[in-house]
Chain A
Amino acid sequence: MSIADLKSGQKATITDISSESIPLKLLEMGCLPGNAVEVIKIAKIKDPLYLNINDTFLAIRLETAKDILVKLIDQ
């Protein structure tokens, strides 16, 4: 599954980044395999996605989110 499949409030761990052309900037902001990601629960806007990745709050578009694969953390 990818970040795009997460429901708001869910936490997951990034497992892989499937696209070669993902911008370096996203990696620099902490979007790396092994780091935690949470979809912030606010309003009902689904695109762009409001995320907390590795303690950085950022927003990315749904189409980019599809390229970032994750594994759900059991709660």
Chain B
Amino acid sequence: MRQINVALVGNPNTGKTSVFNSLTGLNQKVGNYPGITVEKKEGVTKLSRVLKAHIIDLPGTYSLNASSLDENIVIELLLNKNDKDYPNVVVVVSDIENLKRNLLLFTQIKDLGLPTILAINMADRMDRKGISLDIPKLEEQLKTKIALISSRKNTGFDKLKNLIANYKQLSTEACCNASRVDPEYFGNLKKTFPDQNTYKLWLVITQDANFGNLDRNQIKSKTKSFEPKSQSELKRLQQKEIIARYTFINDTLKQTLTKDINAAKGLRASLDRLLMHRIWGYLIFAVILLLIFQVIYDWAAYPMDLIDESFASFSEWTKNTLPAGQFTNLIAEGIIPGIGGIVIFIPQIAFLFLFISILEESGYMSRVVFLTDKIMKKFGLSGKSIVPLVSGTACAIPAVMASRNIENWKERLITILVIPFTTCSARLPVYLIIIALVIPDKSFLGVFNYQGLVLLLLYFIGFGMAVFSAWLLHKVMKTSQKTYFVVEMPNYKVPLPKNVLITVVDKTKSFVFGAGKIILAISIILWVLASYGPNDKFKNAEDIVNTEVKTENLDLTQEELDTKISSYKLRHSYIGYMGKGIEPVVQPLGYDWKIGIAVISSFAAREVFVGTLATIYSVGSENEETIKKRMSKEVNPVFGGKLFNLASGISLLLFYAFAMQCMSTLAVVKRETNTWKWPIFQLVFMTGFAYIVSLIAYQLLK
């Protein structure tokens, strides 16, 4: 079967991803572009019995003038003929209401001489919006073929697939030639590089990146001969180009599109009036956040308990069924609890992404950006920082990348630096288990659960700290650059269940297979370190303890004796010696050496904490017990009493709230800021601050 490459391009918020989902269904995969962390979505669809289409959903962009890494991807692919994904045909996706703006991008792509189809989405809404369109005339003016589609009603896709399959019949002629803004300059370009597309040369000259085999400096050196353009002249030409394109587009649409203005308003205006109200708007946002966290806490608890118990009994079953030996022990005590420690977070992560994607899809997130800009500006942030900060509650890594659309570098840098304070989902398991251990499971006013409230409070602390440190940075850092802020207010939409579902599945999968592998590897390593010791004390643990019991004449039950032996072993294992080594550092915070080990291993990824404790505590344990039960039985080695009490619990919660414990985030920050300076700053500042705060909290509460 033959396969062709199809690129989907379009403005952000035009339902491009819905179109992609409709075309490919679940037959898609999400990866990264090589070397950079921009998400790459690709999928395959069958066009006919002999033809398949490999479809790439390119990042949303308003034009081919790249101002961010994501937008660069689009240009790089469209300019580089040697790229294995170089499209045979481009589909520009526009929704009916933003047609004008999407046509800007469309005319630019047409200028590159690529076969281009225009897919107009949400065509089912034309009547309701009072819009009518003269398709044949529009096709003629734009020199293209148009497919009217609706991803909501799932109509028009056969026509679109048909157009894609017959892409060879499409005109590759430009419909609005950029050369007209400066015929002399473009004419000279054409003369110097006769076998290149002139518009392509122009894009390479005006962008900061090199594309494929076209080298910018090489072009520059050759163009020097006729007329070098200064940076500001180039920018003025770019502006002229946009104006020329819009003139063409406005003329075209005047002839082909009629709009009954009275039918157009309505829902948008009334929802805006409520959601962007200077009092109600903020209240509604607060209530939405509160609801989300209550739901995550309440709903996810049931599947989580189930998972916890199933893994405990599965581990028990393995131990009794497989032949006895060290490897069986590794499976039962290291690998199965390790996998359990990953699976248990799936419900919460899925719920969190469910809500975040609903907020984004519905168009509500942009209203929050609007509402918060004025406040955020005072702290050196932008309204757009709200999206990274909110998605930081899922994971700091995509959040740091989401900050790319903040126009101002200082605002963007501050956003990146403070994101790790927001409570990411990796902290959630640590919080959940500690809250369950030290905060009473009672209700306040009969509605709000104390445990839920503490969790919400932790989210506020994280967010508050993020904003506070942003303000500090804002005061310290100086910049002369003027701040800009442009944000589109998309139409309200009922989120498509399919889109939401795909996002939830994607993100959960990337957690399980990304962080999950690390957690599993660390669980295995920890188990081995806890099951072997450097000297004879470990090997002869049973004899040593038995003699000790005899000489001291202790009267112990078999169970007590077993516990004594296994804790003796643990103390003299590799990990026991490592833990003892760091105990002086963590003791002032109320932790024993086991928690110390868990805290250290958390620097690979925070969610390792629970898995680590699960592994350490289950080594040598014979009974089937959940992690929680084991933890609550632990005794403080110095002061006696429960190890996990209010003081040490709060101290741990605060430590995890503030400390920078994620290598992956540090790596992403390094990549996004292009220097080690900022990630090292984060590591030192955040962790130091966390230590001091936890120390104070424990010493006050104990």
A40 part of interface (Cβ distance < 8 Å): yes
- B272, B407, B490: the one contacting A23 at CB < 8 Å is B407
Prevailing SS type, chain B contact patch: helix
Enumerate B369-407 residues with CB–CB distance to A below 8 Å.
369-371, 373-374, 377, 383, 407
Q: Which residues of B contact A42 (CB under 8 A)?
A: 269, 272-273, 276-277
A10 part of interface (Cβ distance < 8 Å): no
**Residue interface bits B222-256, CB-to-A below 8 A is 1, else 0:** 00000000001001001100110010000000000
A73 part of interface (Cβ distance < 8 Å): no
A21 part of interface (Cβ distance < 8 Å): yes
B contact residues, range? 35 or more
Assess A50 versus B62: contact at CB under 8 Å? Given A24-B242, A33-B243, A55-B100. no
Assess A25 versus B278: contact at CB under 8 Å? Given A33-B243, A42-B273, A47-B374. no
Q: Which residues of A contact B681 (CB under 8 A)?
A: none
Contact of A28 with B278 in the complex, beta carbons under 8 Å: no
Kindly state the separation between the CA atoms of A60 and B374 in the bound complex, as whole angstroms. 11
Considering the complex, give the chain B residue whose CB is closest to the CB of A49.
Answer: B370
B347 part of interface (Cβ distance < 8 Å): no
The tally of residues in A whose CB lies under 8 Å from a CB in B reads 31
Contact of B486 with A50 in the complex, beta carbons under 8 Å: no
Contact of B489 with A43 in the complex, beta carbons under 8 Å: no
**Residue interface bits A39-75, CB-to-B below 8 A is 1, else 0:** 0101111011010001111111101100000000000
Contact of A23 with B281 in the complex, beta carbons under 8 Å: no
- B67, B243, B369, B490: the one contacting A25 at CB < 8 Å is B67
**A-B contact number at CB 8 A:** 112
A1 part of interface (Cβ distance < 8 Å): no
Contact of A24 with B239 in the complex, beta carbons under 8 Å: yes
Q: Which residues of A contact B97 (CB under 8 A)?
A: 55
In the complex, how many angstroms separate the beta carbon of A55 from the nearest chain B beta carbon? 6
Considering the complex, give the chain B residue whose CB is closest to the CB of A64.
Answer: B484
In the complex, how many angstroms separate the beta carbon of A46 from the nearest chain B beta carbon? 9
Q: Which residues of B contact A56 (CB under 8 A)?
A: 98, 100-101, 488
Q: Which residues of A contact B273 (CB under 8 A)?
A: 42-43
Kindly state the separation between the CA atoms of A40 and B490 in the bound complex, as whole angstroms. 14
Contact of B104 with A28 in the complex, beta carbons under 8 Å: yes
- A21, A29, A44, A50: the one contacting B370 at CB < 8 Å is A50
Contact of B239 with A27 in the complex, beta carbons under 8 Å: yes
Contact of B62 with A58 in the complex, beta carbons under 8 Å: no
**Residue interface bits B55-70, CB-to-A below 8 A is 1, else 0:** 0000000110101000
- B63, B232, B272: the one contacting A20 at CB < 8 Å is B232
Q: Which residues of A contact B485 (CB under 8 A)?
A: 48, 59-61, 64
B550 part of interface (Cβ distance < 8 Å): no
Considering the complex, give the chain B residue whose CB is closest to the CB of A48.
Answer: B373
Kindly state the separation between the CA atoms of A42 and B279 in the bound complex, as whole angstroms. 12
Q: Which residues of A contact B62 (CB under 8 A)?
A: 25, 28-29
B482 part of interface (Cβ distance < 8 Å): yes
Kindly state the separation between the CA atoms of A54 and B101 in the bound complex, as whole angstroms. 9
Q: Could you say which of A20, A48, A50, A64 has the most chain B C-beta atoms within 10 Å of its C-beta?
A: A48
Contact of B278 with A27 in the complex, beta carbons under 8 Å: no
B162 part of interface (Cβ distance < 8 Å): no
Contact of B486 with A29 in the complex, beta carbons under 8 Å: yes
Considering the complex, give the chain A residue whose CB is closest to the CB of B373.
Answer: A48
Contact of A23 with B242 in the complex, beta carbons under 8 Å: no
**Residue positions of A touching B, CB distance < 8 A:** 20-21, 23-30, 32-33, 35, 40, 42-45, 47-48, 50, 54-61, 63-64
24 contacts between A and B (CB under 8 A): A20-B232, A21-B482, A23-B67, A23-B484, A24-B67, A24-B235, A24-B238, A25-B63, A25-B407, A26-B484, A27-B243, A28-B63, A28-B242, A29-B101, A29-B486, A42-B272, A43-B273, A45-B371, A48-B370, A48-B485, A50-B489, A54-B100, A55-B97, A59-B486
Additional A-B contact list (20), CB under 8 Å, known A33-B243, A57-B488, A61-B377: A24-B63, A24-B67, A24-B238, A25-B62, A27-B239, A29-B101, A29-B486, A30-B246, A32-B243, A42-B277, A47-B373, A54-B101, A57-B489, A57-B490, A57-B491, A59-B383, A60-B485, A63-B482, A64-B485, A64-B486
